[in-house]
Amino acid sequence: MSNADYVSLSLASALQRSMDMSAHNMANASTAGYKTMQPLFEAVQPEGTEDTATSYVEDRGMYLDTSQGAFVATGNSLDLALSGPGWLSYQTDGGATAYGRDGRLTINADGQLSTLTGAPVLNQGGAPITLPQAVGQNLTISTDGSITDAEGAVLGQIGIFRVPEADNLVPIGNGLYLYGEAGADITPATDTTVSQGFIEQSNVRPVIELTRLMDIQRAYERAAKLMSDSNDLTRQAIERLGSVI
Amino acid sequence: MKALGIAATGMLAQQTNVDVIANNIANANTTGFKSGRAAFQDLIYQSMRQEGALTSTEGTSRPVGMNVGLGVQSAGVIRLNTQGGLSQTENQLDMAIEGLGFFVVNRPDGTQAYTRAGSFQLSAEGQIVTLDGYEIDPGINVPDNTRQIEINQEGVVMAYVDSDPVPVELGQLTMATFLNEAGMKPIGNNMLEETTASGEPTLVNPGEPGVGIIRQGYLENSNVNIIQQITDLISAQRAYEMNSKAIETADAMLSTANQIK
């Protein structure tokens, strides 16, 4: 195979990865708090050669589009949506701290506020929030995340944090994202407000994803065409050189 | 390429979504019915390139990783426990709960279930029973020749028997509250069961602090918002179409790959 084949092959495999990512975004169009994933392509030149004309495509990585999702009113007292750049924090099964924007909360068997899959939501100090037995869903969550019962007694405060370079957060599923460097520079967010009775929809934009699909499909066809063309060239060369003799 | 499987999870999720919406719409006129909402979460991710991996012997590391998600899953159906509207029926055994709490129902197998549907009747033995004939707990016997039954907001049941102008107290209705109402399991016939997620029931009298009161002669309507359901149905259909588009595209790409010559 020639360089042209390998260059088009690198494009084709990067596009397949990109297609998987688009399909994942679309599958999660109705997932509350989901952030669109974007692929990151890069031109790679082979090392140690004089060949500067050839560069391959590599899908280097991915990043999150952390833009705000639309709010949907649900009227459920345990649904909350964040407006602003802050993140909620959760405890994973392994005891690590994860971040996310999924505010569809429930109360787990231990009386703790948790996500739908049971990961406890943490307060500003990083501890789970346990609600007293009698409260049930009769509670008010104010814009700063503090929880009060029907009589106005404060039961706790949901922690909202500012995560630097949030677009590099690593998704681990169930609406949770891990921060790479042990959370050292994570500080409480003061510019984010909580709305009770709302959920934040995913920020997947269907039109963008659909056009991206078309783009991927056509680019893939181009890559395939390049491979076929380069193959044709080789075949023609063999035929002509063969006919001279 | 995993796009085919990923898009399939998206289509399955939207099917669940439509099922839940259809159930809501079908129960729009069911007494005490609480609207449900399918909740989705992203599935696990496959790590293609690890972020932080060393890229040179000098200690530089990769700032971004490559994690490809594998689609979406249903995390559950959340019941929206808001108050339904009250409609007046003037039937003296119709009761609506205004606020938190459930009526306790004794099932024939000896276990208890909980309901917000207060359309009660009298059995042949004079017991107050649900439409399925299950006795409400604590059992209340209505004597023969009762002219009128009065139930106050605190759940005290009184009967005017024969021509006696002074009512006889028949009993006190109790209600159950749960720490996590959303964790209760719906079992049909307007009833719910306790689960480990909902916690143990707390028995209370109506009208206690934080607990609902009883309105005699009213029924609680379902809290299904039909307009909301129809708009949700439209967006579910579009999301389904979008995922099928992803399947079409993946299919076209695979067919292109097959045609390389």
R_g of chain A, CA atoms, integer Å: 25
Task: Name residue A170's amino acid.
Answer: V
ipTM above 0.90, yes or no: no
Asked whether the predicted pLDDT for residue A136 surpasses 90, the reply is no
- Closest chain B residue by Cα to residue A21: B68
From chain B, the residues in CB contact with A177 under 8 A are none
Rounded distance between C-alpha atoms, residue B219 and residue B172, angstroms: 19
pLDDT for position B58: 76
**Does residue A4 or residue B55 have the better pLDDT?**
A4
Q: How confident is the model at residue B239 (pLDDT cuts 50, 70, 90)?
A: very high
The proportion of chain A whose per-residue pLDDT surpasses 90, expressed as a percent, equals: 52
Rounded distance between C-alpha atoms, residue A69 and residue A88, angstroms: 15
Q: What is the pTM for the complete model shown?
A: 0.86
Cβ distance A20 to B2 less than 8 Å, yes or no, reads yes
Which whole number is the average pLDDT over B75-98? Answer: 91
pLDDT for position A184: 64
pLDDT for position B211: 87
pLDDT tens digits along A11-61 = 999 999 999 999 999 999 999 999 999 988 888 887 777 777 788 888 888
Closest CA relative to residue A88, chosen from A185, A158, A169 = A158
Asked whether the predicted pLDDT for residue A179 surpasses 90, the reply is no
Q: How confident is the model at residue A181 (pLDDT cuts 50, 70, 90)?
A: low
- Concatenating the DSSP letter of every residue in B26-62 gives HTTTSTT---EEEEEEE--EEEEE-TT-B-STT--B-
Q: How confident is the model at residue B66 (pLDDT cuts 50, 70, 90)?
A: confident
Q: Quick one: residue B98, left, alpha or beta (phi over 0 = left, psi -120 to 50 = alpha)?
A: beta
CB interface of A with B, residues 151-210, below 8 Å = 151, 168, 170-175, 180, 206, 209-210
Bridge partners, residue B187, by sequence: none
pLDDT for position B90: 84
Asked whether the predicted pLDDT for residue A88 surpasses 90, the reply is yes
Q: Which of A11, A28, A117, A178 is the best residue to mutate to test the B interface, defined by the most B CB atoms within 10 Å of its own CB? A: A28
Cβ distance A20 to B259 less than 8 Å, yes or no, reads no
* Residues contacting B20, CB < 8 A, separation 6+: B36, B37, B38, B77
Residue linked to tokens 């209705």: B173
Q: How confident is the model at residue A134 (pLDDT cuts 50, 70, 90)?
A: low
